[in-house]
Every structure is written in C-alpha cells, then in structure tokens.
A = this chain, B = another copy of it.
Amino acid sequence: MTTSSAATINVLDKGFVRLVEHMGSDLSIVRNARVSYDADWRSGDGLPEGVSTDPGKDAKLIEYLLKNKHTSPFEAVVFTFEVKAPIFVFRQWHRHRTWSYNEVSARYTELDEGFYVPSVEHITTQSTSNKQMRTTDQHPFAEHIQQVIESECQTAHGVYQNLILKGCPRELARAVLPGAAYSRMMATCNLHNLLHNFIPLRMHSHAQYEIRVYAQAIYALLHTIVPVTVEAYSRLNDDYKRS
C-alpha cells in the first residue's frame, strides 16, 4: 500500500490523480496464473511459491497472458485513486461500470473546487472529418473563447454561491453549476479492467483531450507498480500511442 504524496500527478489546470492504495504486483499476476497453468506448483506456506527466480520467465508468462486474453490473473491487482476532474470528465469516467466510486456529494456539501478553463493552445476547431472530435489546429479566436468560457463559469459559480447564501437547498442550487466545475472522487478498479477497458478507450487518439490526460496519468502510476505488465501491454497495444 502506498499513500506517499510522491504518487500524485497534476492534470489540467486544477486537477490531479493520486494513487491512494493498491494491492498486488507483477509477482501477484504470475502467482495467480500459475495456479491455473502450472502443474508443478504447490502452496500453502505463504511464500511466493511457484514464482520462478527467473524474472525473464515471469515477463514471458505475463506477455503470454496478455496476448492470449487470460484476463483473471490481472483482476488480482487493484488500485484506489483519488481524482479531481471537471464534471464533464466524470460524466465520461462514470460510464465505466467496473470501477467503484466515492464522489463528493453536492447534496451534502457545497462544491467549491473551482472550474476548468482550457488553455489557449487546446482551444482548437471542430473536426468535420470525425463528427465527435476537435482538430489540433488552434482556433483563430481561441483567446476570446477562453474568456467567454471563464466568465460564464465565474457567473454561474457566483449564482450558485448566492443561491446557497439565500438558503436554496444545495441539491437544487447545483443545477446551475457548469460541466467545467471540478469535483473529486476516490475510485477503485482492478488492473484487468484498467488495461482492457479504461486505458485503451480513454488513451485512444479519439478520446477527448481532457479525459486522455487523466488516462495518461493513471497509466504512468500503473507503471510504477506493475512495470513488467505495463511494458508488455505497451508492446502489444498501439492505439493510445497515436494520441
């Protein structure tokens, strides 16, 4: 388990991903896989049995498991992250149903984590070739658009605070908060679902920039805990590299 502040990566203008806790390692994956695939392995005494002392052999097994979709050994490695991100990013994130989420409740407490203002270089033009994407060409009025977004968010946040001052219930006042408002959550997911679902989809070049940077931060944190697996995965997958 790690709770060192070293495991925090800042994302966007005010967000972050922090690795709060984790279970397992590259060795856990090998140990779980060997139950199914290694006739010779016997256990019970609590030592990391059946783990060859040859790291190269373990790396080969992990790559074999990834390549042949033997997914269950990767479900024995689990991570809890703390994430601060804009609501419109959480809206995409929460569509992943294999995570466990504990998010700040805006019914229970006033939301005042600020809001996301895109940097000028990320304010590009609407893609016409791919209807859901934006291009990488900076928008001619990028600075103006940035000001419009920022001032509208400031207005909305002011109205929100005012409603609460007037005694408007928090659960109703939040109706005026923009998608750019930051929220915070604790989120737990196992390595299989991260590598099979969240990472390829959200690190993909077609993913929106604002969630892709969170997926990249998580991928970097995974690498610190299961380097052998992440490197094997990276050799086998290319999509997200195009990002």
Contact = CB atoms under 8 A, between A and B. Distances in A.
B172 A123 contact: yes
A216 interface: no
Contact of A95 (B21, B46, B94, B131): B94
A32 to B, nearest CB: 5
B105 A76 contact: no
Interface in A141-178: 141, 144-145, 148-149, 152-153, 155-156, 159, 162-163, 166-172, 174-178
Interface stretch (A54-62, A179-187, A228-236): A179-187
Contacts of A123: 168, 172
Interface string A29-41: 0011101111100
Contacts of A177: 178-179
B152 A186 contact: no
A7 B178 CA distance: 33
Interface residues of A, number: 102
User: Which of A16, A80, A168 has its CB near the most chain B CB atoms (within 10 A)?
Assistant: A168
A98 B193 CA distance: 13
A75 interface: yes
B169 A127 contact: yes
Contacts of A175: 86, 88, 116, 118, 149, 153, 178-180
Interface of A: 1, 3-8, 16, 18, 20-24, 28, 31-33, 35-39, 43-48, 69, 72-73, 75-76, 78, 80, 82, 86-88, 90-91, 94-95, 97-98, 100-105, 107-110, 116, 118, 123-127, 131-134, 139, 141, 144-145, 148-149, 152-153, 155-156, 159, 162-163, 166-172, 174-180, 184-186, 188, 190, 192, 201, 208
26 contacts: A3-B47, A4-B46, A7-B46, A21-B24, A23-B23, A35-B103, A35-B184, A36-B108, A39-B110, A72-B101, A75-B188, A76-B188, A87-B91, A88-B174, A95-B101, A97-B98, A100-B192, A134-B172, A141-B166, A141-B167, A149-B176, A153-B175, A155-B155, A175-B180, A176-B179, A188-B190
